[in-house]
Amino acid sequence: MMPIGPLMIEHRLIERVIKVLPVMSKRMTERGEIEPNLIDTTVDFIRMYADRTHHGKEEEILFRDLSKRNLGEEDQRLMKALVDDHVYARQTVKELVAAKERYLGGDKGALETLVNMMERLFNLYPEHIRKEDRVFFPASMKYFSREEREVMLNEMWEFDRGMLHEKYKSVALTLEGRG
């Protein structure tokens, strides 16, 4: 199996969550109030699954290994654009959380910012995923031998195993009041 297989499978789950964002935004706009628990669940999914787990494997394994190769100009440009998308998504989630906190603190105008941040994420991910699935991932595999792809795949499985422990260590710290 090629190491991009798990990454593409993860995309399908990310797409399912991202497709819910416009529905949530519309409902909150119509009601004139936010849904803090849904926002927290969405933020947790994006931070832990889409960013830390999925983007983590891309950046800490695939992109790391590709950066050691002599990439073609187009492949290099696209890899940089994908990393820039990851940074943009992180910043957008940070702004979404800040807007939620402002709203909960009494700033009802923060609802509009929150909805805008959800729209940004909805607009970002489908094209980002398309670029990875259809262009970058298939093209990137030409830089690795079969054995190198197997090593990468095993490293990705180990990366996933560590995520469960990272997630629940974070939960414990939060519950203890240290997170």
Is residue 24 in a domain?
A: yes
Does residue 115 belong to any structural domain of this protein? yes
Whether residue 179 lies inside any domain: the answer is: no
- Token pair of 176 as six digits: 């203890």
Q: Does residue 83 lie within any of the structural domains?
A: yes
Predicted TM-score (pTM) of this structure: 0.90
CA distance 175 to 179: 8
Stretch 154-178: mean pLDDT: 83
Cα–Cα distance measured from residue 135 to residue 127, given in angstroms and rounded to the nearest whole number:
11
The better pLDDT of the pair 96, 178 is held by: 96
pLDDT of residue 162: 83
What pLDDT, on a 0 to 100 scale, did the predictor assign at position 58? 96
Please give the tally of structural domains in the chain: 1
Mean pLDDT of the chain: 93
- Collapsing DSSP states into helix, strand and coil, what is residue 148? helix
Residue 10 covered by a domain: yes
Residue 178 lies in a domain: no
Give residue 130's domain range. Answer: 4-172
pLDDT of residue 2: 65
**Would you say residue 54 has pLDDT above 60?**
yes
Q: The domain that contains 35 carries what CATH number?
A: 1.20.120.520
The pLDDT assigned to 25 comes to 96
Q: How many CA atoms lie within 13 A of 108 on its CB side?
A: 4
Residue at 166 is within a domain:
yes
Average pLDDT in the 55-73 region? Answer: 96
For residue 35, what are the CA distances in angstroms to 31, 55, 76, 112?
10, 27, 40, 13
* Residue 35: inside a domain: yes
Q: How does pLDDT run across 109-164, given as a tens digit for each residue?
A: 999 999 999 999 999 999 999 999 999 999 999 999 999 999 999 999 999 888 77
| pLDDT for res 86 | 98
